[in-house]
Amino acid sequence: MGKIKLTAAVIACRFTRWVLRVIGKGGTSLPGEVAARLYPNVLADLAKDVNTIVVTGTNGKTTSSRMIEQTLIESGRTYFCNKSGANMLGGIAAEFCQNSTITGKKKYDWALIECDEAAFKTVSKYLNAKCVLVTNVFRDQLDRYGEVTHTLSSIISGIKNSKNAVVCLNADCSLTVSIADEIHNRIIYYGVDKPIYERTVEEISDAPYCIKCKSQYVYSYRTFGHLGGFKCMGCGYQRPVPQVSVSDIFETSESCSVVSLKIGEAQYKVKINLPGGYNIYNAAATACVGYALGFDAETDVKALETFECGFGRMEMLPINNARLRMILVKNPAGCNQVLNFLCNNKERSLFIVALNDNYADGTDVSWIWDVDFEKLLTVDDKLSEIWVTGIRADEMAMRFKYAGIRTDKIKVKKDYSALIDDIADYDGAVYMMPTYTAMLAIRKRIADRFGFKEFWK
């Protein structure tokens, strides 16, 4: 009976997906929801024999996943992944339906699953993950998740459901490391041993006080946000020594970072093929997952040097003479990292912010006031103009005014078509920082006009 139901669910899921494609909708979660409605155990049955890697945490899920994917490619492992940001239960179930046989047998050895932190608690019940990576815990879309401690407890429940998983934790994040006490899994830590940037934005720490005893942390160094060499003077809780770590940073440029990466006992010089300090963390996380699963470290290092990222993660979309890079932001921590990048950039550029407040963006946009946009004044001569668009463009324009940017330099361009026309006329580097739904909408318009691939294809 189970077999028939499973087959029916797989077929229903694929059919729903096919219908959505035919009518031109990129729906990613509905097909899985249909399958689960027909047979609630569909995901557990399909995931049973697949080696599943789960990537969760506030920031860096997608980029880390793409880097890990490259290690799977380089090592010749067969795999599938949930690529299109479908990281809730429905989307994940749909990926498993799509990547099995009609009767529910596995087609690939590995599944690489990016999972929303809040959804992880539920999704984990079905997955029997082999490895769980927690990238970090920052404040994110508070209107949706409540507070940071809720995010943590969701991740802890998820790991408790993943009894057979080796867990990779960011040693520099005091919130993430606190998970260790709550779980019985094997843990591998990764981290960055030194500060990354010369100039950094001022950030509010998301975790100034010890999560265990509430004394203030002291830091031997900080990388960004609350990440770094933390130690609590009250109870002694401190950054664990990571098995995988970035021990030196030789170069950070507009196109890459060159670092020294320690993996277990071995040391590698690595060119990470994506700029930005947060991507140094994503690279270390990737090496950590490889180390945890016993992959060949040299292959993993090669993957970091060759991989290319897409879908709004420093994604390059050249339009005529405009070298447009899209950098998706979802929260202050991510946004501060984009500003760190811009403030250390030596080239003249145009900066665009697209701020929406739909559910997937976070309906509360107040986080833009927790971000140190004031720092842009230090590179004012490098910014030709600042354009704002999206549903909350006026709020964003005002934020720049209060950051001290001259108002004649701030242009509100709410109409996407006109915005894209103006970008197409621009000559030089353009950095666009959209929130999630703004990115989908703008990217689609650009794709339609200039022929880039749609993300679900």
Could you tell me if 137 and 57 are in contact, meaning their C-beta atoms sit under 8 angstroms apart?
yes
Shortest distance in whole angstroms from residue 60 CB to another protein: 22
CA dihedral of 87, 133, 274, 324, whole degrees rounded to 10: 20
| Nearest to another protein of 74, 203 (CB atom) | 203
| Nearest to another protein of 194, 411 (CB atom) | 411
Shortest distance in whole angstroms from residue 208 CB to another protein: 6
Shortest distance in whole angstroms from residue 385 CB to another protein: 15
| Nearest to another protein of 33, 395 (CB atom) | 395
Could you tell me if 445 and 416 are in contact, meaning their C-beta atoms sit under 8 angstroms apart?
yes
Nearest to 5 by CA among 50, 37, 28, 33: 37
| Nearest to another protein of 59, 286 (CB atom) | 59
Shortest distance in whole angstroms from residue 242 CB to another protein: 26
- Residue ranges that bind another protein, judged by CB under 8 A: 139, 142-143, 146-149, 204, 208-209, 211, 214, 363-370, 392, 394-395, 397-399, 401-402, 404, 407, 410, 412
Record the tokens describing residue 237, joined without a space.
């809780």
N-to-C CA span, the chain? 34
Shortest distance in whole angstroms from residue 207 CB to another protein: 10
| Nearest to another protein of 375, 399 (CB atom) | 399
| Nearest to another protein of 204, 258 (CB atom) | 204
Shortest distance in whole angstroms from residue 196 CB to another protein: 24
As a whole number of Å, the CA-based R_g of the chain is 22
| Nearest to another protein of 180, 211 (CB atom) | 211
Look-up: residue for tokens 């703004």? 438
Relative to beta strand 322-327, strand 313-319 is antiparallel
Look-up: residue for tokens 């109409």? 415
Nearest to 161 by CA among 112, 123, 199: 123
Nearest to 431 by CA among 343, 349, 375, 361: 349
- Per DSSP, 378 falls in state G
Shortest distance in whole angstroms from residue 369 CB to another protein: 3
Relative to beta strand 349-354, strand 383-389 is parallel
Q: How far is CA 325 from CA 102, 215, 427, 430, 434, in A?
A: 40, 41, 13, 6, 11
